């Protein structure tokens, strides 16, 4: 990982004048030229506008103006974030030709902070998937081994950072779509507390679960990125008004005296190589002064089930606007209803259709109580169970993904096998609490393993503090492994 | 209960009304686009109105305040509430769902008292967004079936609405009309809506069923497209009769949504209940629960103006007229009661002012062109006996034509001098002598006979005599 510059290095270099944003950009564009054809991280590379932007950042520095905390940092955006005048596809045919007339809040904040947007990254269509194989524009390949998936749904954004195409990227996490691909690509991925990052301009999959977050090379970069994109937005009613903490403040503090929870009734299913690394993570934290405590989160097991009712239910409503009337794809037919059917049949892929059907069914008269109503009850139980766990522990540690990166096609025939990829990440979307995946050594075939640190709502500083300790320990591990 | 009752063949009608009103806000319910009627199509739009991917709704505080005003004016409880999505596909609904309130509306359990003394319960008054407007062109007589193409105007999409749902307490077409009129008067008084049925800023749907009094509720039909107060009465009467005919023929009523055709004066089936959409309501995840604080509710309540019913009572008590008299009703409807009290405050006579307002001020609004002082002086001349009612009318017409002036000098210019009583007494003597038959009939109790006696005196005095005084003298002689 160390061969690429971090966002922190780039930003401080550009701000101090020791680095030129244009040079930094060209290095990243060169990586894109070299490997993008095989990786396919991007739906769109924005080389021209990025060069203009980098030149503008350099001009600001030359004129003594500080471009901001992400000065000259090349950033890739998941292609479900609205960028004014630039196609935004959700990797779906249904948004064919659509260019948003506005920038999402995160996009505006990144520009204001001096970041240079290099492109829009590939995803599972409408963020529905765990391998980026559901993209209408073809899959993204894992930069560490192109025979393997990068994870998903933010596979393009994870791959962009892992391949050195951008120093920073953003994804969205509805059930693990940042943390799982981060784990599979060996980078850091954060899902902040629900409401911490504005969803204005994020094309909705499941509104009550969606949250934008960064992919970075380091935990410090994640803190830097969050400092820019977190905060209250009057355009998002679910946005949290609380003042922002300093996300970098606790990174070097260590874990002395912290209580790290081990979930004793965690659902089984993690591969042995992954489980072994997570055990090692507990040991490392204990060795550095943390206390490991056993906690129970009984509802954890029901997370996947509840999620696959709630997320599709919201999606069935969110995706109803793609009707061919106002924008995107329209397939003509003799009357309006036939046009709707023809457009949606041609515009959506199988997984999207599957979830629209699931969600429509779950909300239907006569089924609501048995499905959607019950799922909401599980969600409330889940929140209670986690609240109890956080009475005993400051943070919780789990695998990010049950397995390391897997081969293309190995789970596509069985949707449920694919859904299981998100077993450990889904509960924090249901509770709205933050989670981070941090690379921690390797597993099978030398592929990276991600360890997930979970924290209570707005507990990001503590979460990052623990993740930073694991990051330092991982480097030591690596050295020891190499020696 | 209502004096007006409607029955036919032993059946009564049971009616509940759902009234949608557009709120008089500057901007839309969930975005900053203007809420304005009559602009060029598709100009009052933005990412939220268009339902663009990634756009999110933000609740308009002013809309909530107006909704609370409506609730409080209708004696509702204002409560913590939530928003829900009502899912259905229609080209003028950009997101394919309407944001409405379903399980927890902002206003519940109120009532509306009508001028006739009857009370109609209010089940709820909730906030929701309007859809856009479709225009179907070419064939099909403006309806979608058979049209060549359709045009969509999204200026109205996202305009804030409050839907006021009455309980099924209405029993006659007159009561339904009175309910709509009273509701409209309240909405205007509290500034919540301009409530124009012809522009669609107030829309009425009627739920109609019939039953034998005292028995259980019958199956109801919902009547849509009722576009005027008059058609509210016509539509529910037609529908009740249709249902009674069916029941009498041994048929049963199917739960339906029906369309009122104003031209044909009848309702048509739009759809049966089985064909109704399953709206798949669920909590709107893009919004948070709305919890109005007690302080906020009290602030809104304190800011409410006096409502029409209270204004009618106030005017009625001061004049001795009945609250549901035509004069009281029309003056309060026009908002002229404050003016009437201003006339009184300026030393005028309230009773005479009300008489004049009812007739001569019918075309004027809440702020008549005549200064209250000018009308006050006129009424003073009347009560002092210096002008007869008839003369006063003439002077008032002149005052209005001139936009004001001194009643006494206009009267003098016209040569008006009220006759004193002795002069009138002499004229009465003369009339009795001239029409002995009429006098005898009048004395025998035939009230109509007074007409020709009064007529004789008015003719002799060339209209200068005070008719009321003449009647008093005749009655006294009897």
The helices-and-strands tally (H runs, E runs) of chain A is 15, 11
Question: Cα–Cα distance between A313 and A310 in angstroms, integer?
Answer: 5
Q: Give yes or no for a contact between B198 and B227, defined as CB atoms under 8 angstroms apart.
A: yes
Residue position matching structure tokens 């058609």: B231
Last residue of a domain, one of B245, B279, B302: B302
A153 is an active site residue:
yes
The label of the residue with tokens 């099909």 reads B140
Confidence of residue B420 (pLDDT cuts 50, 70, 90): low
The reported pLDDT for the residue numbered B141 is 64
Mind listing the pLDDT tens digit for each residue in A411-423? 999 989 899 999 9
What are A37-47's pLDDT values in tens digits? Answer: 999 999 999 99
Same domain, yes or no: B320 and B360: yes
> Is A369 part of the contact surface with chain B (CB cutoff 8 Å)?
no
**Alpha helices in A218-271, H assignment, sequence order:** 219-229
Verify that B426 and B409 share a domain, yes or no. no
| Gap from B378 CA to chain A (nearest CA, Å) | 59
What is the tally of structural domains in chain B? 3
> What whole-number distance in Å separates Cα of residue A160 and Cα of residue A42?
8
What pLDDT is recorded for position B419? 63
User: Could you say which of B302, B333, B354 is where a domain stops?
Assistant: B302
Contact criterion met (CB below 8 Å) for A76 and A121? yes
| B368 and B230 within one domain | no
CA separation, residue B56 to residues A23, A107, A320, B51, B447 (Å): 38, 15, 15, 8, 74
Q: In what order do the strands lie in the sheet with B84-87?
A: B97-100, B84-87, B282-283
CA distance B148 to A439: 61
Residues B373 and B429 in one domain: no
Q: Which of B30, B42, B53, B94 to mutate to test the interface with A (most CBs of A within 10 A)?
A: B53
Q: Determine the Cα–Cα distance for residues A457 and B77; give it in Å rounded to an integer.
A: 34
Q: Closest by alpha carbon to B93, among A320, A438, A130?
A: A320
Q: What are phi and psi of A224, to 5 degrees?
A: -60, -45
Domain end position, chosen among B302, B320, B336:
B302
Q: What is the pLDDT of residue A396?
A: 98
Rounded to the nearest angstrom, the minimum Cα separation between B145 and chain A is 10
**Do residues A9 and A128 make contact, with C-beta atoms less than 8 angstroms apart?**
no
Alpha carbon A61 to its chain's center: 31
Three-state secondary structure call for residue A441: strand
Per the omega criterion (within 30 degrees of 0), is the bond before B32 cis? no
Lowest mean pLDDT among A50-54, A275-279, A320-324, B4-8: B4-8
Question: How far apart are the C-alpha atoms of A159 and A79, rounded to whole Å?
Answer: 14
Checking DSSP bridges between strand A211-216 and strand B77-78, what pairing results, if any?
A: unpaired
Q: Nearest CB to B288: which of A81, A237, A337?
A: A237
- Cα–Cα distance between A397 and A404 in angstroms, integer? 17
The tens digit of pLDDT for each residue in A206-224 reads 999 999 999 999 999 999 9
> Whose CA is closest to A463, among A117, A179, A61?
A179
Please count the helices (runs of H) and the strands (runs of E) in chain B: 15, 15
| B59 assigned to some structural domain | yes
- Selecting from B53, B59, B288 the residue whose C-beta is nearest the C-beta of A203 gives B53
What pLDDT is stored for residue A437 in this prediction? 98
Output phi, psi for B98, to 5 deg: -100, 135
**pLDDT of the residue at B443:** 85
Contacts of A377 (CB under 8 A, 6+ apart): none
Statement to judge: residues B293 and B325 lie in one domain: no
Q: Chain A residue closest to B87 (CA)?
A: A317
Cα(A474)–Cα(A271) distance, integer angstroms = 19
Say if residue B2's pLDDT is above 50. no
Whether residue B217 is contained in a domain is answered as yes
Give the CATH number for residue B452. Answer: 1.10.10.410
Look at the alpha carbons of A81, A86, A92, A97 in this order and tell me if their dihedral is positive or negative. positive
First to last CA, chain A: 18
pLDDT-above-90 percentage for chain A: 95
Average pLDDT over residues B184-191: 95
> What's the CA gap between A342 and A329, in Å, rounded?
10
| Separation of alpha carbons A183 and B174, rounded Å | 72
* B1 domain residue, yes or no: no
Report the predicted TM-score, pTM, of the whole model to 2 decimal places: 0.90
Domain A7-255+440-450+467-482 carries which CATH code? 3.90.1300.10
CB A135 within 8 A of CB A95: no
Q: Provide mean pLDDT across the span A100-129.
A: 98
Are B152 and B253 found together in one domain?
A: yes
Same domain, B312 and B407: yes
Three-state secondary structure call for residue A384: helix
Range of the domain at B131: 7-302
Q: Which stretch of A427-441, B130-144, B200-214, B246-260 has the lowest confidence by average pLDDT? A: B130-144
Most B-contacting residue of A323, A334, A344 (CB-CB within 10 A), to test interface = A323
**Are the beta carbons of B222 and B207 closer than 8 angstroms?**
yes
Question: Per residue in B92-113, pLDDT tens?
Answer: 999 999 999 999 999 999 999 9
Q: Taking the CA of residue B68 as centre, how many other CA atoms within 13 Å lie in the half-sphere pointing to its CB?
A: 25
- Interchain CB distance below 8 Å, A95 and B55: no
Domain range summary for chain A, segments of one domain joined by +: 7-255+440-450+467-482
Mutate to test the interface with B, among A312, A321, A324 (most CBs of B within 10 A): A321
Helix B421-434 to helix B436-443 angle, to the nearest 10 degrees?
100
Q: Report DSSP state, residue A190.
A: E
CB-closest option in A90, A98, A237 to B56: A237
* Spatial separation of the C-alpha atoms in residues A227 and A273, rounded to whole Å: 34
| CB proximity B59 to A under 8 Å | yes
Q: Does B277 share its domain with B168?
A: yes
Residues of B in contact with A325 (CB under 8 A): 91, 94, 152
Closest residue by Cα to residue A134 from A142, A125, A122: A125
Q: Give the gap in angstroms from C-alpha B375 to the nearest C-alpha of chain A.
A: 54
- Is pLDDT at B344 greater than 90 in this prediction? yes
Is the confidence at residue A483, as pLDDT, over 60?
no
Phi and psi, residue B360, nearest 5° = -80, -15
Distance from CA of B150 to the nearest CA of A (A): 10
pLDDT at B389 (0 to 100)? 82
Are B203 and B222 in a shared domain?
yes
Residue B2 lies in a domain: no
Q: Does residue B403 share a domain with residue B362?
A: yes
B250 Cβ under 8 Å from any chain A Cβ: no
- pLDDT confidence bin for B8, thresholds 50/70/90: very high
Helix (H, G, I), strand (E, B) or coil at B157: coil
Indicate whether A1 pLDDT > 60: no
Q: What is the pLDDT averaged over residues A279-303?
A: 97
Q: Is residue B196 part of a domain?
A: yes
Same domain flag for B35 and B53: yes
| CB A99, CB A85: distance < 8 Å | yes
Q: In this complex, is the C-beta atom of B276 within 8 Å of any C-beta atom belonging to chain A?
A: no
The pLDDT tens digits of the residues spanning B220-235 come to 999 998 999 999 999 9
Element spanning B224, H or E: strand B221-226
| A479 is an active site residue | no
Considering only CB atoms, A237 lies closest to which of B51, B85, B286, namely B286
- The CA distance from A30 to A163, in Å, is 11
- What was the pLDDT predicted at B142? 65
Three-state DSSP at B158 gives coil
Supply the mean pLDDT for chain A.
96
B269 and B362 in a common domain = no
Q: Is the pLDDT of residue B404 over 60?
A: yes
**A127 Cβ neighbours under 8 A, 6+ residues apart:** A78, A80, A90, A153, A154, A172, A174, A177, A205, A210
Instruction: Give the tokens for residue B271.
Output: 């759809």
Reported as a pLDDT band with limits 50, 70 and 90, residue B1 is very low
Q: Is the peptide bond before B130 cis (omega within 30 degrees of 0)?
A: no
Q: How far is B219 from chain A (nearest CA, A)?
A: 21
- Residue range B53-80, pLDDT digits in tens: 999 999 999 999 999 999 999 999 999 9
* B7: enclosing H helix or E strand: strand B7-8
């Amino acid at each position: 990982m160390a061969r690429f510059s971090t966002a922190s290095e780039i930003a401080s270099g550009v701000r101090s004048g020791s680095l030129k944003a244009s040079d930094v950009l060209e290095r990243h564009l060169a990586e894109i030229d070299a490997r993008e054809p095989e990786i396919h991280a991007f739906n769109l590379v924005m080389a021209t506008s990025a060069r203009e932007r980098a030149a503008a950042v350099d001009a600001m520095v030359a004129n003594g103006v500080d471009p901001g905390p992400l000065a000259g940092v090349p950033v890739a955006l998941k292609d479900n974030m609205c960028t004014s005048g630039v196609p935004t596809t959700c990797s779906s045919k249904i948004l064919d030709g659509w260019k948003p007339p506005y920038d999402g809040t995160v996009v505006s904040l990144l520009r204001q902070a001096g970041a240079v947007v290099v492109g829009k990254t590939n995803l599972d269509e409408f963020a529905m998937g765990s391998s980026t194989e559901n993209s209408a524009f073809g899959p993204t390949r894992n930069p560490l081994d192109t025979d393997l998936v990068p994870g998903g749904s933010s596979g393009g954004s994870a791959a962009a950072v892992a391949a050195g195409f951008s120093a920073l990227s953003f994804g969205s996490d509805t059930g693990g779509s940042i943390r799982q691909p981060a784990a599979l690509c060996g980078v850091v991925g954060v899902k902040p507390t629900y409401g911490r990052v504005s969803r204005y301009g994020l094309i909705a999959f499941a509104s009550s679960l969606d949250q934008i977050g960064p992919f970075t090379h380091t935990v410090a970069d994640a803190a830097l990125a969050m400092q820019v994109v977190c905060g209250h937005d009057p355009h998002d009613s679910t946005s949290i008004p609380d003042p922002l903490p300093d996300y970098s403040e606790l990174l070097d503090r260590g874990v002395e005296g912290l209580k790290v929870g081990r979930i004793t009734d965690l659902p089984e299913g993690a591969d042995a190589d992954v489980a072994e690394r997570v055990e090692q993570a507990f040991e490392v934290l204990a060795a550095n002064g943390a206390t490991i405590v056993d906690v129970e989160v009984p509802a954890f097991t029901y997370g996947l089930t509840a999620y696959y009712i709630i997320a599709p239910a919201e999606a069935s409503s969110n995706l109803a606007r793609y009707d061919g009337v106002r924008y995107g794809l329209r397939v003509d037919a003799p009357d309006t209803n036939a046009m709707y059917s023809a457009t949606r049949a041609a515009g959506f892929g199988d997984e999207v259709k599957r979830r629209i059907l699931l969600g429509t069914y779950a909300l239907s008269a006569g089924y609501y109580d048995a499905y959607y109503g019950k799922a909401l009850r599980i969600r409330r139980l889940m929140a209670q169970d986690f609240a109890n766990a956080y009475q005993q522990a400051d943070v919780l540690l789990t695998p990010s993904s049950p397995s390391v990166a897997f081969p293309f096609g190995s789970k596509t025939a069985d949707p449920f096998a694919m859904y299981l990829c998100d077993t450990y990440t889904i509960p924090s979307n249901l509770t709205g609490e933050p989670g981070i995946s941090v690379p921690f050594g390797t597993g099978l075939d030398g592929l990276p393993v991600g360890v997930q640190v979970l924290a209570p709502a707005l507990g990001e500083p503590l979460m990052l503090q623990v993740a930073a300790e694991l990051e330092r320990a991982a480097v030591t591990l690596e050295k020891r492994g190499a020696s | 209960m209502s004096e007006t009752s409607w029955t036919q063949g032993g059946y009564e009608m049971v009616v509940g009304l759902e009234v949608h009103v557009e709120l008089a806000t500057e901007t839309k319910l969930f975005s900053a686009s203007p809420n304005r009627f009559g602009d060029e199509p598709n100009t009052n739009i933005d990412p939220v109105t268009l339902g663009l991917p990634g756009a999110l709704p933000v609740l308009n505080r002013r809309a909530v305040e107006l909704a609370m005003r409506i609730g409080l004016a209708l004696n509702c409880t204002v409560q913590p509430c939530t928003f829900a999505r009502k899912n259905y596909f229609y080209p003028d609904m950009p997101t394919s769902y309407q944001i409405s309130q379903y399980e927890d509306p902002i206003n519940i359990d109120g009532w509306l008292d009508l001028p006739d003394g009857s009370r109609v319960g209010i089940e709820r008054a909730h906030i929701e967004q309007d859809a856009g407007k479709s225009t179907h062109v070419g064939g099909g007589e403006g309806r979608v079936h058979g049209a060549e193409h359709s045009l969509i105007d999204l200026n109205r999409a996202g305009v804030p609405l409050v839907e006021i749902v009455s309980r099924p307490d209405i029993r006659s077409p007159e009561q339904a009309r009175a309910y709509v009129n009273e509701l409209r008067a309240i909405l205007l008084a509290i500034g919540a809506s301009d409530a124009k049925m012809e522009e669609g800023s107030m829309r009425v749907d009627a739920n109609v069923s019939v039953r034998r009094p005292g028995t259980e509720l019958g199956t109801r039909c919902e009547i849509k497209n009722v576009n005027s107060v008059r058609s509210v009465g016509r539509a529910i009467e037609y529908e009740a009769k249709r249902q009674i005919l069916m029941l009498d023929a041994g048929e049963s009523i199917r739960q339906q949504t029906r369309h009122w055709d104003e031209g044909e004066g009848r309702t048509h089936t739009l759809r049966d209940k089985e064909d109704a959409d399953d709206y798949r309501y669920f909590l709107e995840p893009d919004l948070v629960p709305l919890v109005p604080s007690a302080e906020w509710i009290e602030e809104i309540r304190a800011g409410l103006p006096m409502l029409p019913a209270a204004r009618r009572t106030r005017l009625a008590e001061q004049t001795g007229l009945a609250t549901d008299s035509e004069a009281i009703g029309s003056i309060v409807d026009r908002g002229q009661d404050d003016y009437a009290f201003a006339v009184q405050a300026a030393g005028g006579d309230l009773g005479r002012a009300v008489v004049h307002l009812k007739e001569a001020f019918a075309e004027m609004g809440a702020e008549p062109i005549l200064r209250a002082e000018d009308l006050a002086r006129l009424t003073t001349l009347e009560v002092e006996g210096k002008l007869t009612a008839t003369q006063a009318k003439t002077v008032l017409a002149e005052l209005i034509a001139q936009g004001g002036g001194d009643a006494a000098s206009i009267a003098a210019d016209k040569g008006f001098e009220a006759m004193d009583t002795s002069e009138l007494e002499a004229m009465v003597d003369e009339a009795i002598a001239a029409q002995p038959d009429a006098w005898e009939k009048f004395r025998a109790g035939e009230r109509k006979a007074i007409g020709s006696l009064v007529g004789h005196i008015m003719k002799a005095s060339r209209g200068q005599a005070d008719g009321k005084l003449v009647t008093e003298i005749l009655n006294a002689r009897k």
